[in-house]
């Protein structure tokens, strides 16, 4: 629970200042580029190197610099007022749904909390952040990130249907099926930013676990058994998530806004169980010693089954759901925590 650096207590002040400044500059760039995917990882790594207080300072400096650079970049000659407002709205999303949850769950990482517990804690903090971003943008900026996402979805829908209509030989029934599929998919647009947050945090926690294990090895030339806690194969969701699955599964019985909310919660929960199913699959491969090219072939085969038969995601989601009742990862090799395995 310490907020001081995890390294030696006599670390030079100048070296820490350079490190914090470097992380602040890195975060400023992340706010404005696709590298924002790894923003939580940057905060985690700054935390284990410099401590929590210094990380808060780096985040504040990086956010101020990022907002300043973003404002300058958004005010280019061809930019509209709506584009500028949306830029500010998405910067708020990155702060409230990524950076703030990362800082608040970092103590859990320091204590070695389970992979699933850290992810769900971050998600429970990020979802209100998404709500504050949406309603704050409407009230203060006069724009809506959700409306922008809906507009982008409709644009993709129009382009895909137009491509099918221009392609000769495509029956009208197939085009109607695609159109109906998009109409159903439009109901789940609110779940997209939540799923994005989940993916961002999964990648960042994996990166944090790898770096922590590497730093431990550099210091001691050994890797403890706890080093593998943040390997993907060890990803396991808390059992209480089953209640969210049961309650959101009643969505077809609801109507109106309640049905829409429950349906989107169900999509998010099923995505989480799909990830747990993938973790089980990875764990079984590690248990039988599949690694390297064998691991690549196994996941390529899984992808082939997904795109041809479409049954693989269903089976993985079912496996992830029932993992709370049956421990599918009981069969482990003695070297299962070996860091040489690739997740």
When pLDDT is cut at 50, 70 and 90, the band that residue 276 belongs to is very high
- What are 165's two structure tokens? 């209509």
Give the least confident one: 66-80, 84-98, 205-219.
Answer: 66-80
CB neighbours of residue 293 within 10 Å: 8
Q: Is the pLDDT of residue 285 over 60?
A: yes
According to DSSP H, which parts of 221-311 are helical? Answer: 241-248, 256-287, 293-308
Condensed to tens digits (0 to 9), the pLDDT of residues 304-328 reads: 877 776 788 888 899 888 887 877 7
Angle at 179 between CA 256 and CA 254, to 5 degrees: 15
Q: Is 5 in contact with 16 (CB distance < 8 Å)?
A: yes
C-beta separation of 25 from 65 below 8 A: yes
**Which residue in the block uniquely carries the two structure tokens 């709205």?**
89
**What is the distance of C-alpha 148 from the center of its chain?**
21
Kindly list the distances between the CA atom of residue 255 and the CA atoms of 189, 270, 272, 299, in Å, as whole numbers in the listed order: 18, 21, 25, 39
3-state DSSP helix/strand/coil % of the chain, to nearest 5: 75, 0, 25
Greater pLDDT, 333 or 143 = 143
Tell me the pLDDT tens digit for each residue of 27-56: 998 888 888 999 999 999 999 888 889 999
Report the C-alpha gap between 179 and 170 in whole angstroms.
13
- Is the model's pLDDT at 3 over the cut of 70? no
Q: What is the pTM of this model?
A: 0.85
Contact residues for 178 (Cβ-Cβ < 8 A; gap 6+): 160, 161, 164
């Amino acid at each position: 629970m310490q907020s001081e650096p995890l390294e030696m207590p006599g670390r030079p002040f100048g070296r820490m200042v350079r490190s914090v400044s470097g992380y602040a500059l890195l975060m400023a760039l992340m706010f404005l580029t696709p590298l924002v995917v790894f923003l939580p990882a940057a905060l985690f790594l700054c935390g284990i190197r410099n401590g929590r207080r210094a990380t808060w300072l780096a985040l504040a400096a990086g956010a101020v610099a990022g907002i300043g650079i973003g404002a300058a970049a958004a005010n280019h000659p061809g930019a509209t007022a709506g584009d500028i407002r949306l830029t500010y709205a998405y910067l708020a999303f990155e702060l409230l749904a990524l950076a703030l949850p990362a800082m608040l769950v970092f103590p859990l990482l320091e204590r070695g909390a389970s992979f699933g517990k850290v992810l769900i804690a971050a998600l429970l903090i990020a979802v209100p952040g998404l709500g504050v971003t949406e309603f704050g943008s409407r009230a203060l900026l006069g724009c809506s990130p959700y409306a922008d996402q809906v507009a982008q979805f409709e644009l993709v829908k129009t382009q895909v249907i137009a491509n099918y209509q221009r392609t000769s030989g495509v029956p009208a029934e197939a085009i109607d099926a695609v159109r109906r599929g998009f109409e159903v998919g439009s109901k789940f647009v609110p779940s997209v930013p939540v799923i994005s947050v989940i993916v961002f945090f999964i990648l960042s926690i994996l990166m944090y676990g790898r770096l922590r294990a590497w730093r431990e090895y550099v210091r001691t030339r050994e890797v403890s058994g706890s080093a593998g806690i943040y390997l993907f194969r060890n990803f396991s969701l808390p059992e209480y998530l089953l209640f969210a699955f049961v309650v959101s599964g009643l969505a077809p019985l609801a109507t109106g806004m309640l049905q829409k909310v429950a349906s989107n919660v169900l999509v998010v929960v099923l995505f989480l169980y799909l990830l747990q199913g993938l973790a089980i699959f990875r764990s079984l491969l590690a248990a039988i010693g599949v690694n390297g090219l064998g691991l690549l072939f196994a996941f390529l085969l899984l992808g082939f089954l997904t795109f041809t038969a479409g049954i693989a995601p269903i089976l993985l989601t079912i496996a992830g759901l029932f993992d709370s009742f049956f421990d599918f990862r009981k069969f482990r090799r003695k070297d299962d925590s070996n860091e040489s395995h690739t997740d």
